[in-house]
Amino acid sequence: MDYPTIYDITNSEIDINGLLAKLTLLSTGAAAIFTGMVRGKTKNGNPHETTYLEYEAYVPMAEAKMKQVAAEIRQKWPSIEGIGIIQRIGKLYPETPTVLIACTAAHRDTGVFDAARYGIDRLKEIVPIWKREVSPSGEEWIEGDYMPKPGE
Amino acid sequence: MNQIKVLFFATLRDRAGEKSVNIDIPEETTVQALKDIIVKTFPGLQKSIDSVVVSVNREFAFDENIIPESAEVAMFPPVSGG
C-alpha cells in the first residue's frame, strides 16, 4: 500500500485544507495536525515583542531530512497513513503559520497525536532551517541547541 | 588536491561575509582539518566553530570523517526551524 508522504519548503501560504485532502484516503478516519505560528508577544522566559521572523533553509538537505523524519515516523507508528511536513520560509509576521505537521490514520488511537509531536520535535532537531528574529530592540539569529549524532 | 564547495548559513554566513566558497584541500582531509582551514581563511568564524554543525553531501558529518572529492560541505549553527 502506498501511503502519501508530502514534504515541502515553500515561500507561499500554507494550505492546511489542501494538504489534509492529499493525506486523506478512503481508509482514513483521523488526522492530527500541528501548526506553529509567529508569536508576536512572548510572555514567558524573556518577555519581548517580535516584529517578524525571517526563515532560511538549506533546501536540498532540508528536503532530504524531512523525508527522513517521515520515514522515522512510519517506522515508529506503522499505522500512520498520510504524513505532511511543510515549512514556510521568508519573512513571516505575527499570527502567520510557519510550519505544519500532519499525520493521518484509520483511527485516532493508533498514534497520530504522538506521531505529529515527534515530527515537529525532529524537524527542530535535524532539518536545516534557521530563523532570524527582528524586534523593536534589534535583530538576532535564533540558534537551536541540538547537535546531530552519527547516523542522523 | 581536491576542490570542494563550502556553504555557510545563518550566523556563519554573516560572520564569513560569504554564502559559499570553493577551496582546494589535500586528499584525506578530515572535517576537523577543514574547520581549521576555514577558521584561518575566515577568522570571524572562530567563535562559531566549536558549536558548528557540518554536513558533507547533505548528510551530517563529524570531526573524524574524511571529505571526498568534489564534496558539497555546509557549515551552520544548530537548526532553529519550526
Domain count, chain B: 1
Measured distance CA(A112)–CA(A33) in Å, rounded = 9
> Does residue B14 belong to any structural domain of this protein?
yes
Q: CA nearest A37 in B: which residue?
A: B82
> Does residue A61 belong to any structural domain of this protein?
yes
Query: Which residues in A lie closer than 8 A to residue B10 (C-beta atoms)?
Result: 56, 130, 132, 141, 143
> Does residue A93 belong to any structural domain of this protein?
yes
Measured distance CA(B61)–CA(B44) in Å, rounded = 22
Q: B62: which 3 cell numbers?
A: 563529524
- Per DSSP, what are the bridge partners of residue A54? A91, A132
> Does residue B69 belong to any structural domain of this protein?
yes
Residue A151 has pLDDT above 70, yes or no: yes
User: What pLDDT is recorded for position A1?
Assistant: 62
Query: Which residues in B lie closer than 8 A to residue A152 (C-beta atoms)?
Result: 60
> Does residue A152 belong to any structural domain of this protein?
no
CATH number at residue A44: 3.90.1170.40
> Does residue A149 belong to any structural domain of this protein?
no
Contact state of B80 with A131 under an 8 Å Cβ cutoff: yes
Domain count, chain A: 1
B66–chain A Cβ distance below 8 A for any pair = no
Phi and psi dihedrals of B38, rounded to 5?
-65, -40
Neighbouring residues of A115: CB distance < 8 A, sequence distance ≥ 6 = A32, A73, A76, A77, A80, A83, A103
Query: Which residues in A lie closer than 8 A to residue B51 (C-beta atoms)?
Result: 143, 147
SS3 of A77, please?
Answer: coil
The sign of the torsion formed by the CA atoms of B31, B35, B36, B41 equals: positive
A128–chain B Cβ distance below 8 A for any pair = yes
> Does residue B82 belong to any structural domain of this protein?
no
> Does residue A150 belong to any structural domain of this protein?
no
Strand duo A52-57 + B72-76: pairing: unpaired
List the single residue in B51, B58, B77 with the smallest CB-CB distance to A130.
B77
Structural domain boundaries enclosing B8: 2-76
> Does residue B57 belong to any structural domain of this protein?
yes
Measured distance CA(B50)–CA(B11) in Å, rounded = 13
pTM over 0.80: yes
Task: Compute chain B's Rg from CA coordinates.
Answer: 12
User: What pLDDT is recorded for position A2?
Assistant: 86
Ranges in chain B, pLDDT < 70? none
When pLDDT is averaged across residues A103-130 and rounded to a whole number, the result is 98
Neighbouring residues of A94: CB distance < 8 A, sequence distance ≥ 6 = A37, A38, A39, A40, A41, A50, A52
CATH number at residue B50: 3.10.20.30
> Does residue B19 belong to any structural domain of this protein?
yes
User: What pLDDT is recorded for position A64?
Assistant: 98
Question: Cell 521568508 belongs to which residue?
Answer: A90
Neighbouring residues of A16: CB distance < 8 A, sequence distance ≥ 6 = A33, A35, A97, A100, A102
> Does residue A108 belong to any structural domain of this protein?
yes
Question: Cell 486523506 belongs to which residue?
Answer: A24
What is the predicted ipTM? 0.96
Measured distance CA(B9)–CA(A89) in Å, rounded = 14
> Does residue B81 belong to any structural domain of this protein?
no
pLDDT above 70 coverage of chain A, percent: 99
B45 contacts B14 by C-beta, under 8 angstroms: no
Structural domain boundaries enclosing A101: 5-142
What are A33-87's pLDDT values in tens digits? Answer: 999 999 999 999 889 999 999 999 999 999 999 999 999 999 999 999 999 999 9
Contact state of A130 with B53 under an 8 Å Cβ cutoff: no
Q: CA nearest B55 in A: which residue?
A: A61
Measured distance CA(A69)–CA(A83) in Å, rounded = 10
When pLDDT is averaged across residues A139-146 and rounded to a whole number, the result is 96
> Does residue A39 belong to any structural domain of this protein?
yes
> Does residue A151 belong to any structural domain of this protein?
no
- List the one residue out of B69, B74, B75, B76 whose CA is nearest residue B25: B69
